[in-house]
Structure formats: C-alpha cells, structure tokens
C-alpha cells in the first residue's frame, strides 16, 4: 500500500475514532450531570461511580474504534498506531476535549494531535517491520497478467 494512501486512511480512522469517543464522553457526562444534580447538594460524591464508568467506556472506545477502523479500511500492521494513539488519547486529548469549551481552532488542534499520533506510528511501523512479517498486499486477477 502506498504511504500516502496508508496515511490518509489512518488519519480518517483517527478522526472518526476521536469523534466517536468524544461524543460518547460528552453525552454520558451530560446525562450523569443531569441525573445527579439534585444529589450533588446533599453529597459531594454523588455520581462518582457513574462518572468513572462513563470515562472508562470512552477511554476504551477510542483505541477499539481505531483498531477496528484500521482493519476495515485495510491497513494491516497497525499495532503501534493503535497503542500510541490510545496513549495520547488517555493522557492528553480526552481531558482537554471534556473539561473545556473548545473553539473550532482548539478542536482542530486536538484532532490534528490524534491524527498525528495514529498516522506517524502507522507509517513508521512499516519501516520497523522485517520483510518476512510485513502484511501481504492483495493481488487482483488484473494485476497478475
């Protein structure tokens, strides 16, 4: 697979995975905020377990969607991309996307960070893999002639 095609596919999957996880995180936290609003006045720990479960689900969704998406678009040998993208999501991006009201420029910045965190390792992994372990390219009937 050509490097530019691999990079575009990986970047597109990274954006979709980040959007899906961000939407899930934002939606679940909004629902929990509404559900525990009355309880918050009575106890400072209202909804702690619900927030923990919501954050865990969103943190797990991003690498899962990245891995499945890369497999669906045909990008093989993507372990490094999934791991580094997940680490960047867990450590920096998710906190910034959740805890602030983002301007379009800030949202674009964090999506760019996630794209770079997935695309660069994906391209680098092809260089690091020995020839014998690289994913095989598919040969169609028309290419065999």
**Which tokens belong to 37?**
């609003």
Residue 142 domain flag: no
Q: Dump pLDDT digits (tens) for 43-69.
A: 777 778 888 888 888 888 989 999 999
Q: Which residue has the tokens 């390792």?
A: 121
Please, which residues have CB within 8 angstroms of residue 112's CB and are 6 or more apart in sequence? none
Q: Helices 79-88 and 48-72, interaxial angle, to 10°?
A: 150
Q: pTM to 2 decimals?
A: 0.75
Residue 115 domain flag: yes
Residue 144 domain flag: no
C-alpha closest to that of 5 among 74, 81, 82, 83: 74
Q: Dump pLDDT digits (tens) for 79-134.
A: 888 888 888 888 887 777 776 677 788 878 888 888 888 888 888 877 776 666 56
Per the structure, the complete domain to which residue 59 belongs is given by 3-127
How far apart are the C-alpha atoms of 38 and 50, rounded to whole Å? 15
- Count of structural domains within the chain: 1
Tally of residues, the chain: 145
CB atoms within 10 A of CB 115: 19
Dihedrals φ, ψ of 44, to 5°? -70, -15
Residue 50 domain flag: yes
The gap between the terminal CA atoms of the chain, to the nearest Å, is: 19
Do 92 and 113 touch, CB atoms closer than 8 A? yes
Residue 29 domain flag: yes
Query: Quick check: helix, strand or coil at residue 101?
Result: coil
Residue 84 domain flag: yes
Do 46 and 103 touch, CB atoms closer than 8 A? no
């Amino acid at each position: 697979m050509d490097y530019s095609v691999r990079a575009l596919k990986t970047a597109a999957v990274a954006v979709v995975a980040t959007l899906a996880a961000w939407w899930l995180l934002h939606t679940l936290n909004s629902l929990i905020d509404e559900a525990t609003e009355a309880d918050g006045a009575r106890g400072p720990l209202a909804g702690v377990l619900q927030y923990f479960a919501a954050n865990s689900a969103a943190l797990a969704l991003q690498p899962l969607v990245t891995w499945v998406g890369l497999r669906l678009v045909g990008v093989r040998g993507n372990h490094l991309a999934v791991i580094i993208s997940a680490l960047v999501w867990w450590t920096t991006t998710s906190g910034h996307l959740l805890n602030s009201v983002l301007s379009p420029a800030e949202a674009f910045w964090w999506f760019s960070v996630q794209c770079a965190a997935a695309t660069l390792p994906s391209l680098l992994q092809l260089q690091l893999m020995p020839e014998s372990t690289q994913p095989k390219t598919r040969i169609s009937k028309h290419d065999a002639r």
